[in-house]
A and B are shown apart, each in its own frame.
Chain A
Amino acid sequence: MTLAVVGEQKQPRRRARRGADETVGVTSGGWFVKITIAVVVLIWMVPAVGVLVTSFRTEAVSNRTGWWTMFAHPFRTSEWTLQNYREALGTGGFKSAFLNSLAVAIPSTVIPIVIAAFAAYAFSWMSFRGRHVMFVLVVGLMVVPLQMALIPILRLYTSGASLGGLRVFPDLELNGTFLGIWLAHTGFGLPLATYLLRNYIGSLPSSIIESAQIDGADHFTIFWRLVVPLSVPALAAFAIFQFLWVWNDLLVAYVFLGGTRDTRVITIALANLVGSRGENWYLLTSAAFISMALPLVVFFSLQRYFVRGLTAGSVKG
């Protein structure tokens, strides 16, 4: 089902703008269309604007009046402040939470991509026993809800696993460590990454690969010097999808990293803040905005890849 969506994305852009046929018949609905669009966009913007505005208002003011009242007197500077952000980043602990999120999200993005790219290359251009079966497995695992994996993996992390007295998985004390959550995210992201990259790498022209082989390049060289550079669009699309997925994730971080101040990621910190100081809006909104800042930067700077990544990654367990 993912393939169908990706296919749609790959189709050539048919027309950038209707221009010509607008004059044929659609002139009547012009105002209706514009107003409806404007109203919907406005409704969609209101929640985010509320957070943004409140995050810059002083504690006393935001506690006393609704944020929309500021439109009556937007230039009353005594009501504006940066102190909220200072407090959230400092005593609120959101600076270290931000760094922890980076430490979780970057390797959790790169590791599955590297592993999936090697696997995708093998599935596309190498022949070996069990190739088809293994790939069907990958396709099947794509929609497994990750709730199915939480309990057993946490058990592996805290006490290892043994089979009839034989230790098959050592007790690595991975619970609460970065390595533990990287591996978990790698496992959950891998089926989709392998599937997408295999579709892309498999559609590269075979003549390129074959001529490199004739020139004496081994598989590792072909993969690293030829296939990876050619697959940058697919790699970037998945990278953005996975990065945002991990950055915005609460569940996996809650289970494997927990809420201690040293390791908690930004979503956990925010969720805890809601629990402990749910009505301190000056702090909640600035903290929320800190957590959204990076995804929004990614969104605005890499919008094309972002859309491609999200639509490609639409089905994930």
Chain B
Amino acid sequence: MASELLGTKYEAVIGLEVHAQLLTKSKIFCGDSTEFGLPPNTNISPLSLGHPGTLPVLNKEVVEYSICMGLATNCSIRPISLFARKHYFYPDLPKGYQISQFDEPICYDGYVEIELDTKGDGSKTQRIGITRIHIEEDAGKSIHDLDIDTLVDLNRAGVALIEIVSEPDIRTAQEAVAYLTQIRQTLLYLGICDGNMEEGSFRCDANVSIRPIGQKEFGTKAEVKNMNSFRNVEKAIEHEIERQIGIVESGGAVVQETRGWDAGSQTTKPQRSKEQAHDYRYFPEPDLPPIRVPQVWLDEIRSRLPELGLQRKRRFVRDFGLPGYDAGILTQEQSLAQYFEDASAALSEKTTDRYKLVSNWIMTDVMRILSEKKITANELTLPPAYIAEMADLLASEMISSKIAKEIFPEVLEGKSPKKVVEERGLMQVSDNSFIIEIVEALLSENPDEVGRYREGKKSLMGFFVGQALKNTQGKANPKIVTKLLQERLDA
């Protein structure tokens, strides 16, 4: 099988190109709205339709957002960068050229760090180089299968994009996904892209080649497109590597071409390209002046950058004593991380144990609700302070974890945990005399079990504890119950 030769005989060389739609209100060169999902050809104007006599004027926010991403990925920012025309004929590109950047992109020479350890504790990290980030305009949409003609919707034509091009530093499909996750998270933290792969506001193409291990020269690459989920990126790259190893092993040669991932057959297939000749005849865009980024502007943008995902994850491990796994999950998305921080700040005692309790509640019940309701943490009506109250009640042994689970649905409805516990009289009983009564009654009711326990069947302790808790509707402190039972049974 070809896959067994990966890592023993061959290695893969992968570079990713990510197109991210920027979250500006208007398009890159004119005031058309960028709102998604409107009727076809609503967000249009003479400029986005490519009418003669129109002139582009650059949206300032696009430049700011691009610089944000450049700084967040450790890129150098060009003090002067230029636009270029990339020519090809396709009906979704009304002007006959795309305004892009060519040899002087705004950001270059950066890197992102990815974490590759399975535990999420950051013990194995790797740098993936960023060759460049450039600004360009999106094309419209052509629909081929609804009519005998091709239908064209230009709502998307001229929406601002950045293209983030990685170095060929990636070696496996898993690394590709880790890199993509990091890029997407960074865009989300910066608030400059919504990262929606299904709607196409975050798209990824992969350049994949293989070479014998130890060889320096790159093999011939194929460009893989049409992967609209992280899972598809992983599967498409794995398949493409295997396909190429298969070709080389059977004495063939990989052909340089564009291939599309076909989710139905789970394979990549050759794609007919938009421009067979791939002769884009780039030249400097005469309609737009260069973008100038003076140092003061750069410093000002830098000073506004938020803390990014990986930094926040590492701070959660450092300051809250959370396991790397927890910290990774909590910082996946900004509002969830903020929710954790808000809950932690509301704890009555700031201890590692309590932070971990808060983390547990968020990672299980809170996240379940978020995915059920398809909302983010900032849209949650459950105040983070209630999670803190739950953790406080548990940590101070006012309630058992069983009771905590039980009252959670009511807390979700907007009741404070303390109130629910008080109203329903669920406060954990740590009063010895009350528990002694229960325990002694239990032992006298079950003489057989007591006998068997004393003959060595120690596992019956679970039975006794369970019964005692049941007889107190879960309110008895299990630690005290166990201690009192042991004192009597082991005496």
Are both chains from one complex?
A: no
